[in-house]
A = this chain, B = another copy of it.
Amino acid sequence: MALTGTRKLLNEVIFGTDTPAGKYFDVFLIWTILFSVGLVMLASVQSWAVRHGSTFVTLEWFFTALFTVEYLTRIYCATDRRAYIFSFYGVVDLLAILPSYLALIFTGATYLMVIRLLRVLRIFRILKLVRYLRDANLLVRSLWQVRRRILVFYASVLVICIIFGSVMFIVEGPKHGFTSIPISIYWTIVTITTVGFGDITPHTPLGQTIASLTMLIGYSIIAVPTGIVTAELAHELGRDKSLARCANCGRAGHDTDSEYCKHCGYKLEDLDPPTEAS
A-side residues, CB < 8 A to B, are: 37, 40-42, 44-46, 110-111, 113-114, 117-118, 120-121, 123-124, 127, 131-132, 135-136, 138-139, 142-143, 148-155, 157, 159, 162-163, 166-167, 169-170, 174, 179-183, 185-186, 189-191, 193-199, 201, 205, 208-209, 211-212, 215-216, 218-220, 222-235, 237-239, 256-257
Q: Are A138 and B127 in contact (CB under 8 A)?
A: no
Q: Are A225 and B223 in contact (CB under 8 A)?
A: yes
Please list the 9 inter-chain residue pairs (A to B) with the smallest Cβ-Cβ separation, ordered nearest first.
A195-B196, A197-B198, A227-B230, A44-B181, A198-B198, A227-B229, A223-B226, A231-B234, A114-B166
In angstroms, Cα B133 to Cα A151, docked, is 11
Q: Are B117 and A163 in contact (CB under 8 A)?
A: yes
Contacts of A136 in B (CB 8 A): 152
In angstroms, Cα B213 to Cα A185, docked, is 12
Q: Are B46 and A179 in contact (CB under 8 A)?
A: yes
Nearest Cβ on chain B to A21's Cβ, whole angstroms: 25
Contacts of A237 in B (CB 8 A): 231-232, 235
Contact A201/B197 with A117-B163, A230-B226 known, Cβ cut-off 8 Å: yes
Chain B minimum-CB-distance residue to A38: B182
Nearest Cβ on chain B to A95's Cβ, whole angstroms: 12
Chain B minimum-CB-distance residue to A162: B120
Q: Are B154 and A149 in contact (CB under 8 A)?
A: no
In angstroms, Cα B196 to Cα A197, docked, is 5
Q: Are B120 and A159 in contact (CB under 8 A)?
A: yes
In angstroms, Cα B110 to Cα A157, docked, is 24
Q: Are B228 and A40 in contact (CB under 8 A)?
A: no
The one of B121, B194, B256 that contacts A193, using a Cβ cutoff of 8 Å: B194
Nearest Cβ on chain B to A48's Cβ, whole angstroms: 8
Contact A186/B208 with A148-B132, A193-B194, A233-B231 known, Cβ cut-off 8 Å: yes
**Most chain-B Cβ atoms within 10 A of its Cβ — which of A120, A150, A180?**
A180
Contact A238/B257 with A132-B152, A162-B120 known, Cβ cut-off 8 Å: yes
Q: Are B226 and A114 in contact (CB under 8 A)?
A: no
In angstroms, Cα B151 to Cα A132, docked, is 9
Chain B minimum-CB-distance residue to A142: B227
In angstroms, Cα B194 to Cα A190, docked, is 9
Contacts of A224 in B (CB 8 A): 139, 143, 229
Nearest Cβ on chain B to A14's Cβ, whole angstroms: 22
Contact A181/B231 with A150-B220, A219-B222, A220-B225 known, Cβ cut-off 8 Å: no
Q: Are A222 and B212 in contact (CB under 8 A)?
A: no
Nearest Cβ on chain B to A117's Cβ, whole angstroms: 5
